[in-house]
Amino acid sequence: MHTEAKLIKGLTSPSTFFYRLGEAEIVPRFAKKMTWLFVLSALVFGFVAFFGIGMDSLAKEATSLTPLEYELKKTMFFFGRLIAGLLYAALILFFSSLVFWTISDHGEYRKIVMVQGLTLLILLLEKLTFVPLSLFFSIEWYSSPLSLGVIAQAITSSSYVVYLLGAISLFKVWMIYLQYRGIKYLTRQKNWLIWLVIVLVNVLFWALNALLAYLDLSTLI
C-alpha cells in the first residue's frame, strides 16, 4: 500500500500520521524528506546564531580581540552552528531511532526515523522560541517560562541542575507524547519497555546538553 505519511500532518493529526506510516509498505521519498530535515535543522541553528544567541563565551573575549579577529570568530561561530545543526539532526533522526529500533519486533527502521522526524520538528520549533525570549526579554533558554528551569533556579544554586531541568519543557512533553505513540504503534512492545527507553534516551540528551552548558560550550538545545 503506497500510503504517504506527511511529517507536518504528524504534528496536527498524529493518529492519521501513525496509521498511514504503519500501513505503508515503503516510506515514499524518504531520502528527500531526510534531506529537507537536515537543511531545516542547519537553517534554524544558523538563524538563532545570526542573532548572537549562544555567543556568551565569545562575548567575554571581545575586549581582548581586534575588530577583525572578533568578526572572524563570529563568522566561525556561525558556520560552526550550521554544522552543529546537521550533527544535531543526525543524532535525533538516526542515533535515537537506532536505539528505539533495537526493542522493535515489527517496526522498520525507516518508519521509526520518520517518528523521530516529528521529534526534530518539535525541537526546532522550541529552538525558535529562544529568539524572541532572548531579544525582547533577555531570557536564556534555561530560564524559558515553558521549562522547569525557572523552578530549578528557585530551589537550587547548582548550575548543572538548572541547565538539566531547563532542558525539560512543554515542548519536550509534546515530543515524548508523540514518541511514545509512534513507537508503540510501530513496535507493539510493552508499555514499560517503551517508556524506559524513551526516558533513558531523552535524559541522556538532556544530561549531555547540561554538561555542555556547564562547561560553557555550545549546547545541543
**pLDDT higher for 105 or 171?**
171
Q: Where are the domains of the chain?
A: 7-214
The dihedral sign for the CA sequence 137, 74, 167, 160: negative
Given this model, what pLDDT does residue 2 score?
Answer: 52
Given this model, what pLDDT does residue 40 score?
Answer: 98
Given this model, what pLDDT does residue 9 score?
Answer: 87
**pLDDT higher for 165 or 69?**
165
Cell of 129: 522560541
At residue 50, does pLDDT exceed 80?
yes
Centroid of chain to Cα 13: 20
At residue 220, does pLDDT exceed 80?
no
Going by pLDDT thresholds of 50, 70 and 90, the confidence category of residue 219 is: low
* Residue in the block written with cell 560552526: 80
Given this model, what pLDDT does residue 24 score?
Answer: 86
Given this model, what pLDDT does residue 104 score?
Answer: 84
Lowest mean pLDDT among 10-14, 70-74, 161-165, 178-182: 70-74
What's the alpha-carbon Rg for the chain, to the nearest Å? 19
Going by pLDDT thresholds of 50, 70 and 90, the confidence category of residue 107 is: low
Task: State the SS3 of the chain.
Answer: CCCCCCHHHHHHCHHHHHHHHHHCCCCCCHHHHHHHHHHHHHHHHHHHHHCCCCCHHHHCCHHHCCHHHHHHHHHHHHHHHHHHHHHHHHHHHHHHHHHHHCCCCCCCHHHHHHHHHHHHHHHHHHHHHHHHHHHHHCCCHHHCCCECHHHHHHHCCCHHHHHHHHCCEHHHHHHHHHHHHHHHHHHCCCHHHHHHHHHHHHHHHHHHHHHHHHCCCCCCC
At residue 22, does pLDDT exceed 80?
yes
Given this model, what pLDDT does residue 59 score?
Answer: 67
pTM check: above 0.85: yes
Going by pLDDT thresholds of 50, 70 and 90, the confidence category of residue 53 is: confident
pLDDT averaged over every residue in the chain: 91
Going by pLDDT thresholds of 50, 70 and 90, the confidence category of residue 221 is: low
Among 144, 162, 142, residue whose Cα is nearest residue 153: 162
Given this model, what pLDDT does residue 52 score?
Answer: 85
Segment 130-137 mean pLDDT: 94
User: Any bridge partners for residue 147, and if so which?
Assistant: 169
At residue 119, does pLDDT exceed 90?
yes
Length of the chain: 221
Given this model, what pLDDT does residue 78 score?
Answer: 92
Centroid of chain to Cα 20: 24
| Percent of all residues in the chain with a pLDDT value above 90, rounded to a whole number | 71
Cell of 51: 542573532
